[in-house]
Amino acid sequence: MKQETLLSIKNLHTRFHIYEGVVTAVDGINLDVYRGETLGVVGESGCGKSVTALSILRLLASPPAEIQGEILFDGENLLDMNLGEIRQIRGNSISMIFQEPMTSLNPVLTIGEQISEAIKLHRGLTQQEAWAKAVEMLQMVQIPSPEMRAQEYPHQLSGGMRQRAMIAMALSCRPRLLLADEPTTALDVTIQAQIVDLMGRLKKEFETSIMLITHNLGLIAEMAKRVVVMYAGKVVEEALVEDLFAEPLHPYTQGLLGSIPWMGRKMKAGRKQLQEIPGMVPSLLEMPEGCRFHPRCPRMMDICRKEEPPLVQKDGRRVLCWLWK
């Protein structure tokens, strides 16, 4: 089954030049997002998920950031574009939802003003037309009495409603790719479910591809088709969601899945029901030699300490580990 590639990241490096040295937040990752699919990107805090998303939209200030590699969107390299061209992409072809609905809306502008701003910018509509479109978008994300809500300020809306408004803003120009950076993390569980449901519905309606960045594997299982696991700036495993959950190949992925409580999971003899991954993500300034995961890996071998692991292709999956060589 050959799918059309919408976004293709090739050998992306994002480095930050700071006082203490050079921090490589994203270290040569490769990934593709196909048309109309939801790609999940998982990993712990600080593994480079958000930086990848910000690199795509070139939202990192440079200096200190330095981005290398290729980010092909519809065949065009976003990293070669000038500021005017990338601005045409932002919000129009690729848009983004942020983690904190509390702080990602401007407190001094009404909801309608903020949504219609993007519409005016990319669609060249008049104020009235853009406002009408903004109200329509609020309706679409199921905000009750949208005409009135459009005239309100963010503090008058609940957290869930604000995230809906953010989604309305992000989807207002019918982007082809939506970068959702922890879209439900700051919301309580029932609201999370509503937002997930809403995103799934809108994805179908708008035929938008979604790159879902999260550390919540449950969310990935529910929404994504394929999943990419990142660790310390590298992609360590890529697989279809079912395959990943059925048989995680990388010890890090195994650890991640082992650390989620499952209802009705049988306890194996001699094993704790919940496992943890010992240690912490290494500091980006002091990366371990060889495999970056080796100090925390339960199945560490000698070679892991010395040489960087190869990318192994296995049944259409990719895994960055010596175990499968």
Q: Does 152 bind other proteins (CB under 8 A)?
A: yes
Residue 105 or 196: the one with the smaller Cβ distance to other proteins is: 105
Question: For the chain, what is the total number of helices (H) and then of strands (E)?
Answer: 11, 12
Site string for other proteins, 76-105 (x = CB under 8 A): -----------xxxxxx--xx-x-x--xxx
The set of residues, in sequence order, having a beta carbon less than 8 Å from that of 272 and lying 6+ positions away, is none
Alpha-carbon gap, residue 173 to 98, rounded angstroms: 17
Q: Does 160 bind other proteins (CB under 8 A)?
A: no
Check the CA dihedral 132-138-142-145 and report its sign.
negative
Residue 90 or 292: the one with the smaller Cβ distance to other proteins is: 90
Q: Does 177 bind other proteins (CB under 8 A)?
A: no
To other proteins, the closest distance from the beta carbon of 81 in angstroms equals: 12
3-class secondary-structure state, position 307? coil
To other proteins, the closest distance from the beta carbon of 239 in angstroms equals: 29
Alpha-carbon gap, residue 249 to 147, rounded angstroms: 50
Q: Does 18 bind other proteins (CB under 8 A)?
A: no
Q: Does 126 bind other proteins (CB under 8 A)?
A: no
Question: If phi over 0 gives left and psi between -120 and 50 gives alpha, with beta otherwise, what is residue 92?
Answer: alpha
Q: Which residues of 25-38 are buried (b: 16+ CB within 10 A; e: fewer)?
A: bbbebbbbbbebbb
Residue 35 or 87: the one with the smaller Cβ distance to other proteins is: 87
Q: Does 117 bind other proteins (CB under 8 A)?
A: yes
Q: Where are the beta strands (DSSP E) in the chain?
A: 5-18, 21-34, 38-42, 65-73, 76-77, 94-97, 177-181, 209-214, 226-231, 234-240, 311-314, 317-320
Can you tell me which of 2, 4, 75, 108 binds other proteins, judged by CB under 8 A?
Answer: 108
Which residues 25-64 are close enough to bind other proteins by CB under 8 A? Answer: 57, 59
Can you tell me which of 109, 260, 280, 285 binds other proteins, judged by CB under 8 A?
Answer: 109
Residue 12 or 105: the one with the smaller Cβ distance to other proteins is: 105
To other proteins, the closest distance from the beta carbon of 161 in angstroms equals: 12
Q: Does 127 bind other proteins (CB under 8 A)?
A: no
Alpha-carbon gap, residue 178 to 125, rounded angstroms: 22
Residue 38 or 114: the one with the smaller Cβ distance to other proteins is: 114
Q: Does 148 bind other proteins (CB under 8 A)?
A: yes
Alpha-carbon gap, residue 153 to 138, rounded angstroms: 14
Name the residue among 57, 124, 50 with its Cα closest to residue 87: 57
Instruction: Let me know: does 232 contact 47? Beta carbons within 8 Å.
Output: yes
Binding segment (CB under 8 A) for other proteins, from list 29-37, 140-148, 288-296, 310-318: 140-148
Alpha-carbon gap, residue 221 to 40, rounded angstroms: 9
Binding segment (CB under 8 A) for other proteins, from list 107-115, 241-249, 282-290, 301-309: 107-115
Query: Which positions touch other proteins (CB under 8 A)?
Result: 57, 59, 87-92, 95-96, 98, 100, 103-109, 114, 117-118, 121-122, 144-145, 148, 152, 156, 166, 169-170, 173
